[in-house]
Structure 1
Amino acid sequence: MASLKRRTLINAAIGIAATGYMSRFGSLAAGQEPDASFPGTSRRVRMADPDWPSRTEWAALNEKVGGRLLEVASPLDACRNAPRDAACRSLVKQLKNPYFLGDEPALTQTSGWIDAWTSTPSVYAVAAEQSNDAAEAVKFARAHRLRLVIKGGGHSYQGTSNAADSLLIWTRRMRGIRMYDAFVPLDCVGDVPPQPAVTVAAGEIWMHVYDAVTTRGGRYVQGGGCATVGVAGLVQSGGFGSFSKKFGTAAGSLLEAQVVTADGIERVVNARTDPDLFWALKGGGGGSFGVVTSVTLKTHPLPETVGVVSTAIRAASPAAFRRLIDSFLAFYADNLLNEHWGETVSMRPDATLRISMLFQGLDRAEATRIWKPFLDSVGGSANDFTMIEPIRILAIPARHLWDPAFIMKNAPGVMIADSRSGAEQDNVFWASNEGEAGQFLYGYESMWLPASLLDRSARASLSDALFESSRQWSVSLHFNKGLAGAPEEARLAARETAMNPDVLNAFALAIIAGEGPPAFSGMPGATVDATAARNAATSIRAAAQSLRIVAPQAGAYVSESSFFQQDWPRAYWGEHYPMLREVKRKYDPDGLFFVHQGVGSDEWGRDGFTRLPLGNT
């Protein structure tokens, strides 16, 4: 009875052994084929097809989900007939508000990608509030051969949370955060020691989770840096935050997940129950294996302080900029390649090195001492370098980092509040992320750079490559998105995930990307300059190619990568892809869950509606 009760809670108890559990599902032999007796779907139904479900059938689904079936329409439809009305102008302003975008089932946090996809509403959405809602939607989509889409936060750059002629499982309304002092996974009593943890429903975003766990709970949970990203999607893709150099990935912290699989079964999975599916959910990509309705993540002791180091340095000449890049890399390798430092340094075409790094576990005096030699060397070369933004080194108690009241009072402008009438007080987001709300992408490339490139024998080549790349487009090094320099505990946990093992030996994830303002369908004046966008895309690809000279086989991060990623199974998952493919065949033999360049997606056409002939996959 106790186990049954736990399964019904949205915060189902969850857990995992730290290492070695993969041997428990070794029976999934490489090369295993799906059941030959399974008929398989060759074509999904579109709205214009005669076998699209009838109104009566949709009404039956609505009854099964407690009236939570929505007919989806874009709020921008109101602008089509009255584009100059005050109501339309107000609506357009909200397209830069990620909370508004998240609360609209018809919209996504990115409005599209040149020559790739545009944000398109589903026909219907189940606004799921419990796992059974998702289960009924899954069974309906399977029975009627519908294109199924899952959306929580809606932050997918590659457009995986929207599709025309589809049924959307919208998890935004699945709310709930529960902390545990001593959590033990389901069916793991006696095998796994109790540990502090937090269970989070799929509709939560990281801002609210951090506020609950850190501000009010005094603990740390590894989540995302962008505070409005959905919890479930980030965990399934791997999941990096500002302090991943210390605490590892969100996937590495996963103890258990509640998930609805393609057969409509609601499962609680952990290292003992369905361990193969549990492993696949840890970095195998969101939306490929089922509908995750809640996750339980272990929490960590909170550092006393966190802080920021920021400045911008401009070089007087290309030669000076090349020396500045090399000088910084040497400084990073000797002083910052450790668990204390994360976030970014970018190199820009105007010969600017922009530093925006966060630290944890150090006080302001320690951070200042660490940076002094580098800053002194820059200051001592006034003819070559100009500090165009003054150096800032600040530190605060870690408990206040996601405390809206504290940040709004002591650092005005750093956070932006949800501007809608009646919005929750804790609906805030980082001002630095405002440009991403509604963005229309031109290009996005990523690659993990191995720490071996920081060796003295290789560093000159890395500096050359970064310099050449930055002359074509801005290049950002995200140091918290590579686990070289992280504690062994964090690396071991990441090794037990489905992510590309390249992350373990990478000192940073290099990102080269460009975007324009929102361009949603129906938005007044929302036109994309296709020529400029394609020119930008060409420059982004060229810049990435210049950098790949020193890391030609580098893997890419599935959540932050190109829509047109080449050799994506290897790039995203490396040696893990064959096993992921077998897990997919076991739990979703008909490919109900389809996302662009997701596990098993090569069996389908680009839009996920038509299965490719055997031999073309």
Structure 2
Amino acid sequence: MKRRRLLQAATAAPFLSATSGFAGAAEVRSRVRPGEAGWPSEAQWRQLGMAVDGALVKVQSPLVACRAAPASEACAQLFKSLKNPYFIGDDVALTQTLGWVDAWTSMPSAWAVAARGTADVVAAVNFAREHRLRLVVKGGGHSYQGTSNAADSLLVWTRRMNGIRLHDAFVGEGCTGPGQPAVSVEAGAIWSQVYDAVTTQAGGYVQGGGCMTVGVAGLVQSGGFGSFSKAYGLASASLLEAEVVTADGQVRIANACSHPELFWGLKGGGGGSLGVVTRVTLRVHELPEDFGAVNLTIKASSPAAFRRLIGMVLDFYRQALMNPNWGEQIRLRRDNVVKVSMVFQGLTRSQAQAVWQPFRDALARAPDEFSVEFAPLAIVSTSARDFWAPSLVKRVLGFMSTDDRPGAPKTNLFWPGDEGQAGQVLHGFQSAWLPAALLREDRREALGDALFAATRHWPVSLHFNKGLAGAPPAAIAAARDTAMNPAVLDAFALVILGTQGQPAYPGVAGREPDVALAREQAQALGRAMAELRRLVPDAGSYVSESNYFEANWQQSFWGANYPRLLAAKRQCDPAGLFFVHHGVGSEAWSPDGFTRL
């Protein structure tokens, strides 16, 4: 009864008009930590616990406990389990990335509200505001920037909020007009759950993330790319409506008709800056007949041959792959190897083979320069409806990995290629959008030279599905109406350079990060990106896959959209309750988010 009254009170509060400011709050100069004056008393924490019907959790990290007994069997099992992203996601104290050397370390919050509904989120937001607490929001826990964790904070953990509801004809609150197929997803759901409900079970398609354990709400707020974004556009552009708890503790419905500036800001403005999203409603698209993949490895016999191979790849991409049918990536390695890991939609396997045949023929004409390693199933396709299905065949053949915990749902799947990210410690990471103009005849040579020069320092990945050049006009138009950096609109790819180590944690003897190696690799990575920055000095970067130390991050992440985003932030969170590293408005705070500058 108590939870129902709280939710009714929150939702019954009058929503402000689209043009009015949100309820103001006294400016906070600093936030409090445990032991400081103003930190809530035990009685006040108990009061919060009662308000959320026992959903308040005193957080203890198993990693911190491992410091006391690093050689124990329990510690060994913990580090083994850290390769399972579902294990990480189900622990309130853990994050999918364990840290970034010289940047941040995954640290548990002091307390967490394991929210089971919007009412719990309202209670947590109000408590944090009233007691001047550092507030953190975590759904899937995938954040290279460490934004889903902070020591001495109150965490809103949405993992248990994972309801999914399909709509045949959705019309946003306060809107009129014909309805459209859509899916409403609570904030704690992850993409494997949504793909199972929308695609496997219902035969539709929703634009989501490529990594199946990423949280839905976080990805949408950050812009959101998936394997087939070149066809369907940004995940944020498919957002039709969001339920949001704002800093004043009000529950608001944001869509094109109600709170349009908040709605626009949620479409790519970054998670955790404007409010706590508790539910998103996304457009459901018609599902194509087939999805498929192309995987092959090409080894060049010399650096000169490798430079020629890069040119061939760029020519072939421009001619045959820069269209809605193709996505994912091609990696250029330091050992003069090109690794193709592409996916396709809307084509049959034979049609995909025909697309690639001219490139394969060109390689075959130079056997002394190029050796090609084709996997037994170099070009494969499957029914699109079965693409994310947890079939036994996929598991046996190694196409999918599973949550190996006893009793885990069979839908707890992830791509084997994503296993390396589970529990990782980043050494360095940078990205940049490459404009399609670089593929013109008069600029392609310079692009090839820059890519080759970069690979002399560090491997380079070209993520073609993370640039919208070649996408349908409707997808580009929808993306233009988001807060994303407009550079994405005419980028043919997002170039990504990354380096990481396996699970490690400071203070755990024998399992600490290799700091010297991390710094050495980060420097090499920086030299590689410098080669590309000479060609595109103001390329812009994707907020979710970017450099923690990005200097001009406002311009890099959001470009000309940042002033509008900052205005939306000041409207809906004037006191700055919501803070994340390099998030909208974070320049007003110290790096840890505790002191206003």
Q: Deviations over 1:237-270 (max 9, x none)?
A: 0000000000001100000001100000011111
Whole-Å separation in 2 of the counterparts to 1:448 and 1:87: 43
Q: What is aligned with 1:399? A: 385
1:516-595 aligned at under 5 Å gives the runs 516-521=501-506, 523=508, 525-595=510-580
Whole-Å separation in 1 of the counterparts to 2:285 and 2:490: 23
1:73-222 aligned at under 5 Å gives the runs 73-189=60-176, 192-222=177-207
Whole-Å separation in 1 of the counterparts to 2:327 and 2:583: 28
1:301-380 aligned at under 5 Å gives the runs 301-380=286-365
CA contact (8 A) 2:505 2:513 kept: no
Whole-Å separation in 1 of the counterparts to 2:275 and 2:305: 52
Equivalent position amino acid for 1:516 in 2: G
Whole-Å separation in 1 of the counterparts to 2:81 and 2:525: 29
Q: Deviations over 1:533-587 (max 9, x none)?
A: 0010111111111011221110100000000112111111111100100000010
Q: Does 1:597 align with 2:582?
A: yes
TM-score, structure 2 normalization: 0.95
Q: Deviations over 1:206-247 (max 9, x none)?
A: 011001100011000000000000000000000000000000
TM superposition shift of 1:87: 3.1
Structure 1: unaligned runs, 5 residues or longer = 9-23, 29-33, 613-617
Q: Deviations over 1:321-344 (max 9, x none)?
A: 010000110011011110000000
Whole-Å separation in 2 of the counterparts to 1:54 and 1:407: 55
Whole-Å separation in 2 of the counterparts to 1:554 and 1:503: 9
Q: Deviations over 1:352-411 (max 9, x none)?
A: 1110000000001111111011111111111111114447011111001100125535x6
Q: Deviations over 1:497-529 (max 9, x none)?
A: 000010000000000110001123565522122
CA contact (8 A) 2:191 2:208 kept: yes
Equivalent position amino acid for 2:383 in 1: P
Q: What is aligned with 2:409? A: 424
TM superposition shift of 1:51: 1.7
Q: Does 1:239 align with 2:230?
A: no
- Percent of aligned pairs sharing the same letter: 56
CA contact (8 A) 2:32 2:134 kept: yes
Shift in alpha-carbon separation, 1:576–1:450, aligned structure 2, 3 A: same
Q: What is aligned with 1:439? A: 424
CA RMSD in angstroms comes to 1.9
TM-score, structure 1 normalization: 0.92
SS in 2 for 1:449: strand
Q: Deviations over 1:157-191 (max 9, x none)?
A: 000000011000000010111111111111113xx
Between 534-543 and 519-528, report the one with greater CA deviation.
519-528
Q: What is aligned with 1:479? A: 464
Q: What is aligned with 2:439? A: 454
Whole-Å separation in 2 of the counterparts to 1:428 and 1:500: 32
Shift in alpha-carbon separation, 1:459–1:258, aligned structure 2, 3 A: same
Q: What is aligned with 2:14? A: none
Q: Does 1:408 align with 2:389?
A: no
Structure 2: unaligned runs, 5 residues or longer = 9-16
TM superposition shift of 1:121: 0.3
Equivalent position amino acid for 1:592 in 2: L
Whole-Å separation in 2 of the counterparts to 1:554 and 1:422: 47
Q: Does 1:40 align with 2:13?
A: no
Shift in alpha-carbon separation, 1:209–1:523, aligned structure 2, 3 A: farther
Whole-Å separation in 2 of the counterparts to 1:346 and 1:194: 42
SS in 2 for 1:356: strand
TM superposition shift of 1:90: 2.0
TM superposition shift of 1:111: 0.5
